[in-house]
Amino acid sequence: MQQCRKGISQVVFHDSRDGDGGVSKPCHGTVLQKRRGSDREPVSEQSERVEEAMSVPIPTVDDDALVWYRIRVVEKDVAFVRGILEASEGLACMFAEKGGDLMLVSPSSQQQRLEEVIEDLRVELGAIVTERGTNGGRKRESSS
């Protein structure tokens, strides 16, 4: 390993596929950067950048074979809801926007199971269904 610049080391690999009867020659190609504690960005600044990068709008549902529900839970329960959906083996996809505003999208064939899960979330967590739709988003029902 050779030291190239401050904090960067160059790794030398030997290529035995050169056809020289087993004689290997150096093959420079991978550079690894060693990070020191002082070079790292403070965690608070990293968190702000991640929040900005992850703020994406909820997609529209255009497939006739899907149903969707917009629900609202307390922000701290979002990860719990995601865990429930993941444990339900493909019951629904969850999209989170701000705080606890969630959109659950499921195949029409799973609508009854999803409604049962949403009812459990309503009872256990106080989840509120704010809107729901079927038929690719062309039929909407407000649940206010």
Domain boundaries, the chain: 2-38, 66-142
Instruction: Give DSSP secondary structure letters for 30-82.
Output: EEEE---GGGSPPHHHHHHHHHHHH--PPPP---TTEEEEEEE--GGGHHHHH
What are the beta bridge partners of residue 100? none
pLDDT tens per residue across span 98-116: 889 999 999 888 999 999 9
Given a cut of 60, whether residue 97 has pLDDT beyond it is yes
pLDDT at 69 over 60: yes
Per-residue confidence band for 11, with pLDDT thresholds at 50, 70 and 90: very low
Handedness of CA 115, 74, 125, 127 (dihedral sign): negative
CATH of domain 66-142: 3.30.70.260
Residue with tokens 């989840």: 127
The pLDDT of residue 36: 46
| pLDDT tens digits, 16-64 | 444 555 444 444 444 444 444 445 455 455 445 555 555 555 555 555 6
User: What is the C-alpha to C-alpha distance for residues 48 and 42, in angstroms, rounded to an integer?
Assistant: 10
Residue 79 vs residues 16, 38, 69, 131: alpha-carbon distances, Å: 49, 32, 17, 21
Residue with tokens 């190609």: 29
> How many whole angstroms separate alpha carbon 68 and alpha carbon 61?
8
Whether 92 has a pLDDT exceeding 90, the answer reads: yes
